[in-house]
Structure 1
């Protein structure tokens, strides 16, 4: 049986599997893992690579499973490049890759490294059709995966967790949850028709809008508070200001444009935080 719906052959199959790589949503979890390395200060390249590959495998699993459910199970999407068998084969391969990475982390670092990494796959695999039917898990699944990616990236380098990575993980969890609420609002009409309980469906679009920006504002104030308390570098305030400028523009737009602006604003936010830590090492703050 063919794995790709466009036809048999190595090229068609490879293209179908490659189509499930979505850089816009895959890059933040990978970048979060590497940000954990930056926070750690010291780099062990092999361990960093293993953790990044594990996170990639988890996110790839999420996209495969989500596409499989939306097209082959729910009939929600108009098309999908992989057959049902192709989706299953892809899930086996991505899960096996993730498993190998976890085994390497266990042998090289310890069980806590695996305990911080394994939930990312659990969230990815169960996002559809389980977690995406509840307003809390539908909203926090992706942000929680990114927060865990950051903590795992830090832990595999240091063998410990400190207040700094925990603080950044909290900020990403809250900020990205706000963005996710806006993102889900794009599909309000359809989600309501299939009784998919996103925040927008549960409380209505206007209240969801307030919830989303309330979460984002809270995250930015957390950054300011940690910077004032010298937990974060003082220059982390620049990251908060940069994202606030983007959010102020997005606030007056519709969900589609707002999502595009906020996702890219989160890239700027992360980039400025990386620069703040890179050029002003946390160890020097006292």
Structure 2
């Protein structure tokens, strides 16, 4: 039985499976894992690579499962490169890779490292069609996965948790949940037609917009509060200012443009946080 819908041969198969790698959505969880390493202040390359492998496998699982559900089950998508069998093989391979990474983390770190990592696969696999039909889980699934990636990246290096990574994980959870609410508003009409209960469908576009920006503001205030309490380096406030500038422009844009701006703004936010933690440029001034 075929595993790809168009084409034959090894090249077609590789191309079809490679198409399930979506850098825009994969890079933030991987970057969060590396940010956890930076916060830990130590680097065991093998452990970092193992955790990155687990996170990559989890997000890949989400993409293959979402594609399978949206095309083969719900009929939402117009096309998909993999057949049903191809999707199942992809899920087996990604899940096996994830399991192997978790076994390595258990052997070389401990069970807590595994406990922080396994939920990322659970969120990924059950996002569709279970978690994406509830406003809360549809909104927080991806952000929670990123928060867990950060905590796991820190833990596999430090062997413990601390207030700093927990604080950053909380900030990312709140910030990215706000972006997700705006992202889901792009599909308001369609989601409403199939009774898919995103925040926009449950509350209406205008109220959902208010919820989204309330979450974004709350995340930035958390950064300022943690910086004022010296949990974060004072220069972390620069990240809040940078993202706030992007949010001002996004506030007046359509949902699709706002999502594009805010996602890229979140990359800038993370980059400035990395700079702030690594170099602490304002440490001698405040």
TM-score, length of structure 2 as denominator length: 0.98
How far is 1:8 from its partner? Answer: 1.9
The residue aligned with 2:206 is: 206
How far is 1:266 from its partner? Answer: 0.1
How far is 1:76 from its partner? Answer: 0.3
The residue aligned with 2:216 is: 216
The residue aligned with 1:247 is: 247
The residue aligned with 1:75 is: 75
CA distance in 2, matches of 1:93, 1:46: 21
Q: What are the superposed Cα offsets for residues 58-82 of structure 1, whole Å, 9 maximum, x if unpaired?
A: 0000000000000000000000000
The residue aligned with 1:133 is: 133
How far is 1:172 from its partner? Answer: 0.1
How far is 1:38 from its partner? Answer: 0.2
The residue aligned with 2:40 is: 40
SS of 1:235's partner is helix
The residue aligned with 2:155 is: 155
1:119 aligns with 2:158: no
CA distance in 2, matches of 1:51, 1:142: 17
TM-score, length of structure 1 as denominator length: 0.98
CA distance in 1, matches of 2:9, 2:195: 39
CA distance in 2, matches of 1:74, 1:7: 24
Q: What are the superposed Cα offsets for residues 171-222 of structure 1, whole Å, 9 maximum, x if unpaired?
A: 0000000000000000000000000000000000000000000000000000
The residue aligned with 1:230 is: 230
CA distance in 2, matches of 1:147, 1:29: 8
RMSD: 1.3
CA distance in 2, matches of 1:52, 1:206: 38
How far is 1:230 from its partner? Answer: 0.4
Q: How does 1:178-197 map to 2 (within 5 A)?
A: 178-197=178-197
CA distance in 2, matches of 1:16, 1:143: 27
CA distance in 2, matches of 1:50, 1:8: 33
CA distance in 2, matches of 1:97, 1:54: 7
The residue aligned with 1:257 is: 257
CA distance in 2, matches of 1:194, 1:55: 31
CA distance in 1, matches of 2:38, 2:158: 11
The residue aligned with 1:106 is: 106
How far is 1:19 from its partner? Answer: 0.3
CA distance in 1, matches of 2:42, 2:159: 12
How far is 1:2 from its partner? Answer: 1.2
Q: What are the superposed Cα offsets for residues 135-155 of structure 1, whole Å, 9 maximum, x if unpaired?
A: 000000000000000000000
How far is 1:280 from its partner? Answer: 2.5
CA distance in 1, matches of 2:238, 2:182: 23
CA distance in 2, matches of 1:112, 1:133: 30
Runs of 4+ in 1 over 2 A off after TM superposition: none
CA distance in 2, matches of 1:100, 1:129: 26
